[in-house]
Amino acid sequence: MTNSVFSLKNVVVTVGDGVQILKSVNFDIYDGDFITVLGTNGAGKSTLFNTIAGNLSISSGEILHNGHNIAHETAVKRTNYIARVFQDPKMGTAPRMTVAENLLLAEKRGSKRTLHGRGLTQKKLTEYATLTKVMGNNLDSRLNTATGDLSGGQRQALSFLMATRVKPELLLLDEHTAALDPKTSEQLMQATNEQVTKHKLTALMITHNLADALKYGNRLIIMNAGNIVLDVRDEEKKALDENTILRYFVS
Amino acid sequence: MSMIVSSIGQGLLWAILGIALFLTFRILNFPDMTVEGSFPLGASTAVAMIAHGVNPFIATLAAFFIGTIAGLITGLLYTKGKIPILLAGILVMTASLSINLRIMGSANISLLDQRSIFSIKILQHLPKYFDSVFLGFTVITIITVGLIFFLQTELGQAFIATGDNPIMAQSIGIQTDRMTIMGLMLSNGLIAFGGAIIAQNNGYADINMGIGIIVIALASIIIGEVVFGELTLNERLVAVIIGSILYRLVLLAVLKLGFSTNDVNLISAIVLAIAMILPQLRHAFQLDKMIKKGITPHD
């Protein structure tokens, strides 16, 4: 197996009153992993994401990125290599800016924003039309629409495209289809899978949909009470079924 | 007629404040009270420097610079000190009252026969009141065109995104604290710059000249929005300028009705309140439909 891109070593996260919401987590993410993350509410899934992204500081342990400890890097600095899609469609896009403007903004993730013109040319618009077409939800015909006027599904599809516009070393998908209706949700899930596979993205995806967790990705982890209680990949993952998974939820 | 020309001139000069406040109030999405301090700060800096024989143009630029410092302090208190923006602004506003007294040495300074930016040759050939129209138009055009260009740059877009959705902005690597501080510095720099120009137009700087400034600046923004409705960002900047002129014309009309200049702050507040309530009234009474009905012929 290749070296891990990200590695959590004995990571503990404590909240105000001394409660550990992550209890000495050890977790390695390898290049090309598409990991689905399961667990009940309060199991620590979001904490894990916030810890990796830098929105929560850790009490002890190390977070390694290519062997280099990033535990003290700010969240904004970590966006140089980590991208994220939120659950709430309102959180991932700037509502008063157009689809194209949002994509332009995302294109500058990881590089300096200067006094150069933003470069919204006809050529760019054509490029964005091709890019958004793959999501299959008419986003390509709404490039000059303010994102506040889009449907939830379109906004999430846009958020996904924005997060992957500059290829991240790690993509965090935080229940990004959960706020959508079943049909839209499935459509976005399939588009997500296509993109992750096609571009060989390394991704972590929280979901409450057991079928999705089994169907997508090459690896699956289950969290419970601040611990990772199951971590399986490839053949072992394929052998899992919903009943087996549910057993890990109650323990 | 000359009163109308004077109002247009005042509207153009005061539009600098409207545009400056637009950066924080509409783009960053918060009310910045610092402006009530940075306005007299700019005025007193420029007037005091001119009174000491400094070139009026340099004095006016110095006013811009000192305004950016006021914005910087508010920005640091807000982003790093985690003080709510309203309070951070009030703190800097209050502090600058003392600073202004230090700068001027007294509660007011008159320019009397000193040179000012209104003394340049080209303005001397213009009819009365046209000097402020000419200067106001030139300055506001330069500022607006500059801002339009700036807002279309990568940095400008990051600034807009910060006000629009800070969480998203951070998630794509935008340093939102820096953007906020930059916006406050630019906004207050422009406010102080406006204060310097208006003080030179009035011929004096006074310690109390900042009172009610935020209401006047807001009025130009809101009037522009109420009159023009849905616009692109660039058009909205121009709407602020027109809003500022309209506000002055409303003020002129009210003064003509017999109110005194002492009532100006009351009138400003009422005009702003009405302009802010209007969109809701329009909605509640379906004024749009009524007006449309009134102007389309029966078939």
Ranges A216-225, B121-130, B197-206, B209-218: which has the least confidence:
B121-130
Query: Is pLDDT at B171 greater than 80 in this prediction?
Result: yes
- Taking residues B247-258, what's their average pLDDT? 91
pLDDT grade for B193, boundaries at 50, 70 and 90:
very high
User: Does A106 lie at the interface with B, CB-CB under 8 angstroms?
Assistant: yes
The alpha helices in A68-209, defined as continuous H runs, are: 75-78, 99-107, 122-133, 152-165, 182-198
| pLDDT at res. B287 | 61
Total count of domains within chain B: 1
Range of the domain at B148: 2-210
ipTM of the complex: 0.90
Query: Is pLDDT at A200 greater than 90 in this prediction?
Result: yes
pLDDT grade for B123, boundaries at 50, 70 and 90:
confident
* pLDDT tens by residue, A91-118: 999 999 999 999 999 999 989 999 998 9
Decide if A75 and B150 are in contact by the 8 Å CB cutoff: no
**Residues of chain B found within 8 Å of residue A96, distances taken between Cβ atoms:** 160, 164
pLDDT grade for B22, boundaries at 50, 70 and 90:
very high
**Residues of chain A found within 8 Å of residue B178, distances taken between Cβ atoms:** none
Query: Is pLDDT at B268 greater than 90 in this prediction?
Result: no
**Going by DSSP bridges, is the β-strand pair A60-65/A4-15 parallel, antiparallel, or unpaired?**
antiparallel
Query: Is pLDDT at B298 greater than 60 in this prediction?
Result: no
User: Does B167 lie at the interface with A, CB-CB under 8 angstroms?
Assistant: yes
**Residues of chain A found within 8 Å of residue B160, distances taken between Cβ atoms:** 94, 96-97
Query: Is pLDDT at A227 greater than 70 in this prediction?
Result: yes
Q: How many helices (H) and strands (E) does chain A have?
A: 9, 10
Query: Is pLDDT at B275 greater than 90 in this prediction?
Result: no
Query: Residue A132's closest CA among A106, A105, A156, A158?
Result: A158
- Taking residues A147-152, what's their average pLDDT? 93
Dihedrals phi, psi of A172, to nearest 5 degrees: -105, 115
Sorted by where each starts, the structural domains of chain A and their CATH numbers stand as 4-111+119-250 (3.40.50.300)
| pLDDT at res. B260 | 86
pLDDT grade for A2, boundaries at 50, 70 and 90:
low
- Taking residues B230-254, what's their average pLDDT? 93
| pLDDT at res. B299 | 47
The alpha helices in B105-153, defined as continuous H runs, are: 121-124, 130-151
Q: Report d(CA B250, CA B48) in Å as an integer.
A: 33
Q: Report d(CA A116, CA B154) in Å as an integer.
A: 6
Dihedrals phi, psi of B43, to nearest 5 degrees: -60, -50
Q: Which of B150, B157, B176 sits opposite A105 (nearest CB)?
A: B157
Q: Report d(CA A98, CA B184) in Å as an integer.
A: 25
Tokens of A16: 């105000």
| pLDDT at res. B115 | 87
pLDDT grade for B216, boundaries at 50, 70 and 90:
very high
Give the mean pLDDT of chain A: 91
Q: Which of A90, A106, A116 sits opposite B172 (nearest CB)?
A: A106
Query: At what angle are helices B56-79 and B176-202 packed, to 10 degrees?
Result: 150
User: Does B152 lie at the interface with A, CB-CB under 8 angstroms?
Assistant: yes
pLDDT grade for A243, boundaries at 50, 70 and 90:
confident
User: Does B169 lie at the interface with A, CB-CB under 8 angstroms?
Assistant: yes
Residue B177 within a domain = yes
- Taking residues B166-192, what's their average pLDDT? 96
CA distance B240 to chain A (A): 18
Residue B242 within a domain = no
Q: Tell the burial category of B203 from Cβ atoms under 10 Å away from its Cβ (0-12, 13-18, 19+).
A: middle
Residue B103 within a domain = yes
Query: Residue A92's closest CA among A104, A80, A84?
Result: A84
CA distance B228 to chain A (A): 18
pTM metric for this prediction: 0.91
Dihedrals phi, psi of B62, to nearest 5 degrees: -60, -35
